[in-house]
């Protein structure tokens, strides 16, 4: 993942205009904080640890972030950008059941390689912060909604192409698939196995497959 | 929830035989720790806070628990007991699609009353601890497996009663339903709405409903 990619995807309105060097320093701080918080939790990460891990100074840290809450906001945005950077290439072209299954296979392969470890960066933040910080909850919810909207758009394209029944509610199916992803990941983390993720996604996707219309694929269908 | 219920359900082999009074003190410590850790995370909870919240002394705390890890183990067991105490009455008699829908309705009502807040106590511990403590992960995974086994048994009973197709794998369906519960809860927490939980469970349960055989319910079916 390039620095430029994650930064642009997680762009937040700059409160002060940063120099190129300042932007790099700020980025280094957020990356270090994101990694520490993913490994040890937000509550388990101190500002001192972020200073040490980022190789910056305390005055630099507080130059860019008034307090830990401000840093957490930047971390949520960066993690959202990181996750969406992985998800977008798979989802933005999604227009067929085959594409949905390919997305499922990519996820299961990814989780399998790590034996279920790490979990979803946004899901972890959601569990830790949703009840503890309203600004954090709003950002995390927006990340989930954005993620769901990619799935909704993909399912809608399957409907437009005539591959699946148009009367089904695409947004409902998208919520179910994202819930299966999040819950599947959580069970995979606990079991150290990709199997729960695979089963959960298969079950959710089966609801979309059940809508398949019996006809030849329309022209333009993904092979 | 009665003290006796949670204690018996979360029974762990006592390392030392406790007096009745000692057992109550230990229980008070674990309850305080469980509530603090659910509210602020394990990493966000100190032993000093547990002493204060439980109204005990530091020497009492360390009399029962050698260190924070030992206390966390007791908390996982207590939270598992608490969750299963709520789940068991609904799941141990589960033997029909109607019963499965009633379970779904109870959950959605519960989540709706809290506007999605709090989340699943075991799910939260899973997210925070699965990658950070192998003994904790093993206990949490066992809790999920036990939960799944109730769902598996209930689906198997539907198969035995001839309500649904016998050839489907009950355990696979159970994993999918628990994943939908966990992921639905996570999205409901972030959205402050029971809707994701409802949609996720509906989608997972639809896979079981799709197995329904067209025949009159066998005698003994739950009304």
* pLDDT tens for each residue of A14-62: 556 788 889 999 999 999 999 999 999 999 999 999 999 999 999 999 9
Contact A189, B127 (CB under 8 A): yes
Round to whole Å and give the CA distance between B162 and B214. Answer: 10
Share of residues in chain B with pLDDT > 70 (%): 89
Which chain B residue lies closest to A134 (C-alpha atoms)? B190
Q: What is the pLDDT of residue B116?
A: 95
Average pLDDT rounded to a whole number, residues B76-95: 94
DSSP-derived secondary structure for A48-101: HHHHHHHT--HHHHHHH-SSHHHHHHHHHHHHHHHHHHHHHHHHTT--SHHHHH
* Residue ranges, CATH 1.10.357, chain A: 92-209
**Inter-chain residue contact A144 with B179, CB threshold 8 Å:** no
Condensed to tens digits (0 to 9), the pLDDT of residues A197-215 reads: 999 999 999 999 999 997 6
CATH topology for B3-72 is Arc Repressor Mutant, subunit A (1.10.10)
Residue listed under structure tokens 């699965």: B130
What topology does CATH give the domain A3-71? Arc Repressor Mutant, subunit A (1.10.10)
Q: Where in chain A is the domain with CATH 1.10.10.60?
A: 3-71
Residue in B with minimal Cα distance to A119: B127
Mean pLDDT in residue range B139-150? 97
Mean pLDDT of chain B: 90
Q: Say yes or no to pLDDT of A5 above 70.
A: no
- Say if the Cβ atoms of B189 and A43 lie within 8 Å: no
**Candidates A40, A132, A179; nearest CB to B200:** A179
Residue B149: the pLDDT is 97
* Pick from A104, A99, A128, A84: nearest CA to A177: A104
pLDDT higher than threshold 50 for residue B87 = yes
* CB-closest option in B126, B179, B191 to A141: B191
Q: What is the pLDDT of residue A20?
A: 87
Asked if B187 lies within 8 A of A200 by C-beta distance, the reply is no
Cβ of B182 within 8 Å of Cβ of A178? The answer is no
| Interchain proximity A172–B43, CB inside 8 Å | no
Sequence ranges of chain B with CATH classification 1.10.10.60: 3-72
What residues of chain B lie within 8 A of the CB of A196, using their CB?
175, 179
CATH level 3 topology of A92-209: Tetracycline Repressor; domain 2 (1.10.357)
Give the closest of A131, A141, A202 to B118, CB-based.
A131
Mutation target to probe the B interface, by most B beta carbons within 10 A, among A39, A119, A123, A127 is A127
């Amino acid at each position: 993942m390039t620095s430029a990619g994650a930064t642009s995807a997680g762009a937040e309105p700059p409160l002060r205009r940063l120099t190129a060097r300042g932007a790099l320093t700020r980025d280094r701080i957020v990356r270090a904080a994101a990694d520490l918080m993913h490994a040890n939790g937000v509550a388990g990460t101190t500002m001192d640890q972020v200073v040490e891990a980022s190789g910056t100074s305390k005055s630099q840290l507080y130059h860019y972030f008034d307090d830990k809450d401000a840093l957490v906001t930047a971390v949520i945005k960066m993690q959202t950008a990181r996750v969406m950077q992985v998800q977008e290439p798979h989802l933005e072209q999604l227009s067929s059941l085959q594409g949905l299954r390919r997305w499922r296979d990519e996820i299961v392969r990814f989780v399998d390689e790590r034996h279920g470890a790490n979990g979803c960066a946004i899901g972890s933040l959601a569990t830790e912060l949703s009840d503890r910080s309203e600004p954090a909850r709003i950002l995390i919810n927006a990340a989930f909604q954005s993620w769901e909207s990619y799935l909704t758009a993909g399912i809608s394209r399957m409907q437009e192409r005539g591959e699946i029944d148009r009367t089904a509610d695409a947004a409902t199916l998208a919520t179910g698939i994202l819930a299966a992803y999040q819950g599947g990941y959580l069970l995979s983390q606990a079991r150290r196995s990709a199997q729960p993720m695979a089963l959960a996604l298969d079950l959710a996707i089966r609801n979309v497959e059940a809508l398949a219309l019996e006809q030849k694929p329309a022209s333009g269908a993904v092979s």
